[in-house]
Amino acid sequence: MDQPKIALITGASSGIGMASARWFAEQGWSLVLWARRIERLKELQGVLAQQVGNRLEIWVDQVDVRLDAQVQRAFASLPPSLQNVDLLLNNAGLSQGLKAVHESNQEDADRVLDTNIKGLVNVSRAVVPGMKTRGQGQVIHVSSTAGKEVYPGGGIYCASKFAVEAIAKTMRHELLPFGIKVGTVSPGMVETEFSLVRFKGDAEKAASTYQGLEPLRPEDVAEAIGFMATRPDHVQIADLLLMPRAQAGSGAVHRVDS
């Protein structure tokens, strides 16, 4: 039997990351799951292990992608059987607040830019050299509709996702000679902890984001990522943009009173 493929997923403790972990485990991939919330990862590891038995390796580690030393240590400490990563899913990301650029909070801005941009670069720096040496692999960065269009209050978050798009395109050029696929998946509104984190735990505000419309579920995005990762070898999906039926773009949503 072929060796299971290996996916390394950041931000795997919730939302799109967690749904993707489930999707890939169901498809028989071994997993390296990173997030800050290790207890949640361990719980997920237990659930997945029950589902897939001991056919697959599921490795979890506490990693804050903003901290390069932590990222490099976590990658160096992978067991040899999990070092040849086939798919890097750079998913860890967040938003903080919904304030105009000139009113934004410096700490919030640092957190968003450090996680969404520098974190993704830190992880790529750890994982991609091995892919390059092997001449094989795929990188999928989680972008957003916010990486295509801006909206008032989204300045810093949109800037971070525009940067993700620039980094992904650059990497696709850089890695072209080595046969490594690089793409972005760009979801619109997805019901995850995204809004709860953006509004710092204000559940009412978070819920109002999705009021009167049916947002994407994390599983919908995981399926799109799975599609990108399971194309024939010669097919490279550069970007997959998806949104709910009730959304036409950043800030353009159709709500129905319930």
Is residue 188 at the binding interface for ligand 8X3, with CB under 6 A as the rule?
yes
How many chain residues touch ligand 8X3 (CB under 6 A)? 8
Residue 185 interacting with ligand 8X3 (CB under 6 A): no
Q: Minimal CB distance to ligand 8X3: which residue?
A: 144
Contact 79, 31 (CB under 8 A): no
Strands (E), the chain: 6-10, 30-35, 58-62, 87-90, 137-142, 180-187, 239-242, 247-249, 252-253
Does residue 20 bind ligand 8X3 (CB under 6 A)?
no
Is residue 177 within 8 A of residue 191, CB to CB? The reply is no
Q: Closest CB to ligand 8X3 among 138 and 143?
A: 143
> Among 68, 61, 118, 67, which residue's Cα sits nearest to residue 93?
118
Tell me the residue length of the chain: 258
Residues 132-161 that bind ligand 8X3 (CB under 6 A): 144-146, 154
* Contact between 215 and ligand 8X3 per CB under 6 A: no
Query: 152 — phi, psi (to 5°)?
Result: -55, 135
CB of residue 146 to ligand 8X3, shortest distance in Å: 4
Task: Determine, following the binding rule CB under 6 A, whether residue 14 of this chain makes contact with ligand 8X3.
Answer: no
Annotated active-site residue in 157, 162, 194, 199: 157
Of positions 48, 89, 189, 222, contacts ligand 8X3 by CB under 6 A? 189
Residues 73 to 102 in contact with ligand 8X3, rule: CB under 6 A: none
Return the ∠ at Cα 128 (arms to 224 and 39), rounded to 5°. 65
151 is catalytic: no
H-helix or E-strand spanning residue 187: strand 180-187
Q: For binding to ligand 8X3 (CB under 6 A), which residues are involved?
A: 144-146, 154, 188-189, 194, 250
Residues with catalytic annotation?
157
